[in-house]
């Protein structure tokens, strides 16, 4: 066992004793200082810390090496976390509690994304967008989708309406997985009207589809 120091990244150099000219360099994944530094994941009850590099008492969970440290005195204790829910146990009398769950995988507007509240609506300046809209209103969803997809691909900072229309096309075509993927893309492009996502009849085929229902929460 050896201890890594310094900023890194680090590597292991291997050399054959019988033939010093034959060498190999094996990078140590996660050996940068910022990567091997422990991050605290929970302070509820048992303190849980993790890093990308294993320690003596750690265990691997989905590529992160976790270890339990000290006990902290809190009114709640995190007993268990699985793929769908976390279980908290109250260690004191609590009249009310507000629990906030943050999903780090929820999409957000990328840097440089358009603000649709102040940007020019694409229908006012893009003939292709208007033609795609007409195709959509005529029920020619696959053809409309191609128009929106091809035009969006040419834009550095596309208006979120392009991806949103793509999502509506996929939803009308019955491809719920691709529809949700396009909705996520619209949010990354700057879409902010979650009430419209919830109430849009063009997305009716997505109702009760878990990834869509999660997206409706707004994160």
pTM of the predicted model over 0.85: no
**DSSP-assigned letter for residue 84:** S
Torsion on CA atoms 178, 184, 189, 190, rounded to nearest 10: 140
Q: What does the pLDDT read at residue 66?
A: 79
Residue closest to 72 by CA, chosen among 97, 49, 50: 49
Is the model's pLDDT at 5 over the cut of 90? no
Mean pLDDT of the residues in the chain: 85
Please give the Cα distance from 73 to 47 (Å, whole number): 10
Q: For 17-47, what is each residue's pLDDT tens digit?
A: 888 888 888 887 767 776 666 777 666 667 7
Interval 140-150 mean pLDDT: 98
Interval 93-118 mean pLDDT: 84
| CATH number at 122-216 | 1.25.40
Residue 165: which pLDDT band, with cuts at 50, 70 and 90?
A: very high
The structural domains of the chain, with segments of one domain joined by +, span 1-37, 42-101, 122-216
Identify which of 40-54, 73-87, 167-181 has the greatest average pLDDT.
167-181
The residues, ordered by sequence, that sit 6+ positions from 203 with a Cβ below 8 Å of its Cβ are: 167, 168, 171, 179, 183, 197, 212
């Amino acid at each position: 066992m050896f201890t890594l120091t310094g900023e890194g990244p680090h590597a292991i150099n291997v050399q054959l004793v019988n033939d010093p000219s034959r060498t190999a360099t094996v990078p140590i994944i996660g050996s940068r200082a910022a990567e091997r530094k422990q991050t605290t994941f929970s302070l509820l009850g048992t303190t849980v810390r993790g890093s990308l590099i294993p320690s003596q008492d750690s265990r691997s969970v989905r590529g992160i090496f976790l270890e339990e440290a000290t006990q902290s005195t809190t009114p709640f204790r995190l007993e268990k976390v699985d793929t769908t829910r976390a279980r908290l146990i109250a260690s004191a009398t609590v009249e009310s509690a507000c629990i906030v769950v943050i999903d780090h995988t929820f999409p957000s507007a990328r840097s440089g994304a358009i603000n649709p509240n102040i940007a020019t609506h694409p229908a006012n300046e893009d003939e292709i967008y208007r033609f795609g809209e007409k195709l959509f209103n005529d029920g020619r969803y696959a053809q409309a989708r191609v128009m929106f997809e091809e035009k969006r691909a040419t834009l550095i900072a596309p208006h979120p309406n392009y991806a949103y229309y793509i999502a509506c096309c996929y939803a009308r075509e019955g491809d719920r997985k691709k529809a949700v993927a396009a909705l996520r893309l619209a949010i990354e492009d700057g879409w902010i009207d979650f009430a419209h996502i919830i109430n849009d009849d063009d997305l009716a085929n997505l109702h009760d589809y878990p990834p869509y229902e999660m997206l409706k929460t707004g994160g």
